[in-house]
Amino acid sequence: MEELLTLPGVADAARQPAKDNPSPILTMQFQMGEQHLNLFSMIATVGMSADAALDDIRIETLLPADEPSRNWFQQFAGQQ
């Protein structure tokens, strides 16, 4: 823990109070230009397949976790 607290920004983040109503998901934050995006990950697996090789397939999808992130992605929907 002592070593972690020496990393840039970690000590400040550890001192921040917990939210009253935390989200039920963990999000990843990205910055695209001026836009801050909050995304969460969903992993789908193939189950009960007839081919054993398919049982190892995992598909990870990143989805917007808030309305501003959703709107940012929607501005590109339909553009080719």
- pTM equals 0.59
Which pLDDT band, with edges at 50, 70 and 90, does 78 fall under? low
Which pLDDT band, with edges at 50, 70 and 90, does 80 fall under? low
Q: Give one DSSP letter per residue of 1-62, joined into a string.
A: -HHHHTSTTHHHHHHSPPPSS--SS--EEEEETTEEEEEEEEEEE--S-SSGGGGG-EEEEE
Cβ neighbours of residue 62 under 8 Å, at least 6 residues apart?
28, 39, 40, 41
Contact 46, 55 (CB under 8 A): yes
Q: How confident is the model over 22-77, as pLDDT tens digits?
A: 777 788 999 988 999 999 999 998 877 788 778 788 899 999 999 999 999 998 88
